[in-house]
A and B are shown apart, each in its own frame.
Chain A
Amino acid sequence: QVQLVQSGAEVKKPGASVRVSCKASGYTFTDYYTHWVRQAPGQGLEWMGWVNPNSGNTNFAQKFQGRVTMTTDTSISTAYMELSRLRSDDTAVYFCARVPGGLAYYFDYWGQGTLVTVSS
């Protein structure tokens, strides 16, 4: 069965960086784009960007450009999201989600989420 398993919770200080991993299983990793979505406490979902595991190509929401990096390691079917220069308002649960490659535009499976807390 399809699973996206994310790394554990993180606590970071303002100005630091965080890297969250998302390990895929149950499907061909390179056939699906990996997207990242975050949810601040009590708030809605916010799309951050995607990475194409086949090519390494990425695209980010304008809000995160310059501060986010998304990569993959196809040898272990894992995607990574790194967010730098963390601020307190980056405190959120970060989800990875897959989108079928090609002409598909929906998130059909999601990781369990990783809580990132930014606090001095």
Chain B
Amino acid sequence: QSALTQPPSASGSVGQSVTISCTGTSSDVGGYNHVSWYQQHPGKVPKFMIYEVTKRPSGVPDRFSGSKSGNTASLTVSGLQAEDEADYYCSSYAGSNNWVFGGGTKLTVL
């Protein structure tokens, strides 16, 4: 399986919104509503942020939202805060009991 495609970097000012894309194929992102997103601060463990494309686990601020169109999923962070600066990874079920991650996006809060 090939990794999902994410932009290497994204940025936004405090209070603004930023959207990170995650592009796959009809065999993964486009074929299932099983996209999830993870936040990872440097040297830390990934944190589960979004599942089933749009759902937020308890405790995740509603500033974080997910969507999908065709083979591309997106994570939007609204009202950016300094602590949102981190790496973000998408993941998708890829069929046949396989999963795949994106290459990651480094979000910088200006």
CA distance A73 to B43 in the complex (A): 29
- Out of B34, B38, B45, B104, name the residue touching A105 (CB < 8 Å): B34
Residue numbers in A under 8 Å from B69 (CB-CB): none
B side interface size, CB within 8 A? 25
Point out the residues of chain A lying under 8 angstroms from B89, CB to CB.
44-45
Closest chain A CB from B42 CB (angstroms): 10
Residue A30 is within 8 A (CB to CB) of chain B in the complex: no
CA distance A30 to B77 in the complex (A): 35
Is A110 within 8 A of B1, CB to CB? no
Within 8 A of A (CB), among B20-60: 32, 34, 36, 38, 40, 45-46, 48, 51-52, 57
Q: A47-B91, A113-B45 are in contact. Are A35 and B1 (CB under 8 A)?
A: no
Whether the pair A110, B45 counts as a contact (CB closer than 8 A) is yes
Indicate whether A44 sits within 8 Å of B36 (C-beta atoms), given known contacts A95-B46, A105-B99, A112-B45: no
Name the residue of chain A whose CB is nearest to the CB of B57: A108
Closest to A48 in B: B99
Q: From B97, which residue of chain A is reached at the shortest CB distance? A: A59
Let me know if B86 is at the binding interface, CB within 8 A. Answer: no
Given A47-B91, A95-B46, A111-B45, also A106-B101 (CB < 8 A): no
Chain A proximity of B66: nearest CB distance (Å): 11
- Report yes or no: B38 in contact with A107, Cβ–Cβ below 8 A: yes
Decide: A105 near B3, CB < 8 A? Known: A45-B101, A59-B98, A110-B46.
Answer: no
- Identify the 10 closest CB pairs spanning chains A and B, nearest first: A105-B34, A106-B51, A106-B36, A44-B104, A59-B97, A105-B93, A45-B101, A47-B99, A44-B103, A110-B45
Which residues of A line the B interface, CB within 8 A? 35, 37, 44-47, 50, 59, 61-62, 95, 97, 104-113
